[in-house]
Amino acid sequence: MRAGPKAAVDPSPLPFRPRTTVPSERFEKFCTRFVVTPKGTGARKAMRLRPWQVELVASVFDAQPRPRSAGWMMPRGQGKSTLVAALGLFDLFLGEEGASVVVAATDERQAGIVFKTAARMVELSEDLSSRCQVFKGQLYIPERGATFQALPAEPKRLEGLDPTLAILDEIGVISPDVYEVVALAQGKRETSTLLGIGTPGPDPHTGVLADMRAYAASHPDDASFVWREFSADGFTDHPVECEHCWSLANPALDDFLHRDAMTALLPPKTREATFRRARLCQFVTDTTGGFLPPGVWEGLSTGEPIPDGADVVLALDGSFSDDTTALLLATVGTEPHFDTLQVWAPVDGERVPVAEVEQTIRDACRRWHVVEIIADPFRWTRTLQALEAEGLPIVEFPHSPSRLTAATGDLYSAAVNGRMTHSGEPTLAAHVAAAVVREDARGIRLDKSSRSRIARKIDLAACLVMAHSRATWRATRKSRKKTRSFAA
């Protein structure tokens, strides 16, 4: 996209007069004639639609009357962003007068994926680029008053739309409020369609995609709605490497989805539930399974404690009463070693002995070279302030979703790839075994299996997430501040 004022465009219509009047056939010819594949397999060549892609488009645009809403469910890697970008350009250039194509997703970055693909297609075609102005977030054809724009999936930003084609990308994680705002914007045009496309979300029982699928199953005769899916959801009992499931769910397999990439991502390199959702379109959840695959934690044990005087970080996960407070040590390094320092588990309304926790931290600073003491300041602000006033190296680690998502992912990767070790201490093993992961649009985060007071504790696992994040970060940085030493 060139900066500055936009040049005048060619006002003439596209030189496109196919003999067919069938929309899906016209779309296929439009792609062959004007659309250049912008990246991946077939890059810089004319876009050649596969029969399954033509059938998808036909299911919506060949129907009479044209349905008001449609859902396409397919795994990642099927070129769906490229397909819907081309479909948006087809409506932009050859749709009705004043066509309005809108792409919305979970955030502006995600929506921009489809938009940038469409913008690049325009730039690579002389016929399209000479008739269209390309702006940062909008394609515009002055002669027809037609627009193609990307918007974040925020209800207040989507009010007042009048789309001929609304594309909701990654509809598996889009909120119902966003879907309803866009769906209810229809009705001002004789023909308009909302197209939702994506993979299953982390909760198999909720979400717009799951609701669409359930509605299609219970209302097969509703002509205003179309549902199509490529999925192996009926075979969740099959192993993840089942080639029958791979072929069933992935129409692009061995075409522009490469089999070796699928093999390279098999568990334990990725979590099984995530692989099943993303690559097989199966409705599964992570909340009933452990954080790590069976046997991984046991395989990381060395049976050795952390030697006195070692450079370490110390992580605190504290509570107030009736819950566990834990301290964990980790050696500073790209492949840290972990060991439990101490755990307090008060019962029957007892409070955590805060003074004892503080003294244990001071004692640890005499025994090891503690470069950081890490903790979420919630309910422990006074302790952290008091220790910092004594010269101890306090680092706050607020448990925000973005921070925990990145740290949990890094810890998981290190564990399954053998880039960390631990002492084999039983309480730490029990807390890790009790931990599960919750997943949403941001990614994965460590959590308890339930909020019950009798649920198994995971406080040392929470320390593990913090300690791994800071220990590996510290290994790549030189400390600018000396840690206060304590006499024995």
pLDDT one-digit tens code per residue, 95-143: 999 999 999 887 777 778 899 999 999 999 999 999 999 998 899 999 9
3-state SS, residue 88: helix
Say if residue 51's pLDDT is above 50. Answer: yes
Query: What is the predicted pLDDT for the residue at 436?
Result: 82
Separation in Å, CA 359 to CA 110, 364, 385, 386: 48, 9, 14, 12
Question: 442 pLDDT band (50/70/90 cuts)?
Answer: low
Say if residue 484's pLDDT is above 60. Answer: no
The pTM of this model reads 0.63
Say if residue 59's pLDDT is above 80. Answer: yes
Mean pLDDT of the chain: 88
Check if the beta carbon of residue 239 is closer than 8 Å to that of residue 476: no
Query: What is the predicted pLDDT for the residue at 403?
Result: 86
Tell me what the mean pLDDT of segment 209-218 comes to. 92
> How many CB atoms sit inside 10 A of residue 344's CB?
20
> How many CB atoms sit inside 10 A of residue 335's CB?
14
Q: In this structure, is the dihedral angle defined by the CA atoms of residues 236, 237, 242 and 248, taken in order, positive or negative?
A: negative
In which residue are the tokens 């004692």 written?
363
The amino acid at 204: P
Query: What is the predicted pLDDT for the residue at 485?
Result: 40
| Strand ranges for 348-463 from DSSP E | 369-375, 394-396, 421-422, 436-440, 443-447
Say if residue 229's pLDDT is above 70. Answer: yes
* Omega of the bond leading into 65 within 30 degrees of 0 (cis): yes
Check if the beta carbon of residue 357 is closer than 8 Å to that of residue 327: yes
Which tens digits make up the pLDDT trace of 263-308? 998 987 887 888 999 999 998 765 445 788 878 898 999 999 999 9
Domain ranges of the chain: 23-229, 296-475
Find residue 134's DSSP bridge partners.
139
Query: What is the predicted pLDDT for the residue at 486?
Result: 42
**Domain made up of 296-475: CATH architecture:** 2-Layer Sandwich (3.30)
Structure tokens at 401: 């979703």
Query: What is the predicted pLDDT for the residue at 450?
Result: 62
Question: 242 pLDDT band (50/70/90 cuts)?
Answer: very high
Give the contacts of 395 (CB within 8 A, at least 6 positions apart): 372, 373, 374, 470
Say if residue 441's pLDDT is above 70. Answer: no
Whole-number percent of the chain with pLDDT over 70:
91
23-229 maps to CATH 3.90.180.10? no
Rounded Cα–Cα distance for residues 159 and 178 (Å):
10
Question: 451 pLDDT band (50/70/90 cuts)?
Answer: low
Query: What is the predicted pLDDT for the residue at 1?
Result: 46
Say if residue 456's pLDDT is above 80. Answer: no
Give the contacts of 144 (CB within 8 A, at least 6 positions apart): 97, 98, 99
Say if residue 320's pLDDT is above 90. Answer: no
Which tens digits make up the pLDDT trace of 322-378? 578 999 999 999 999 999 999 998 776 688 899 999 999 999 999 999 999 999 888
Query: What is the predicted pLDDT for the residue at 147?
Result: 96
Query: What is the predicted pLDDT for the residue at 107?
Result: 72
Query: What is the predicted pLDDT for the residue at 295?
Result: 82
> In this predicted model, which residue has the larger pLDDT, 259 or 204?
259
Query: What is the predicted pLDDT for the residue at 292?
Result: 85
In which residue are the tokens 């695959």 written?
293
Question: 234 pLDDT band (50/70/90 cuts)?
Answer: confident
Question: 453 pLDDT band (50/70/90 cuts)?
Answer: low
Rounded Cα–Cα distance for residues 96 and 332 (Å):
63
3-state SS, residue 468: helix
Rounded Cα–Cα distance for residues 361 and 210 (Å):
49
Find residue 269's DSSP bridge partners.
none
Say if residue 483's pLDDT is above 50. Answer: no
Question: 205 pLDDT band (50/70/90 cuts)?
Answer: low
Tell me what the mean pLDDT of segment 30-52 comes to. 94
Say if residue 253's pLDDT is above 60. Answer: yes
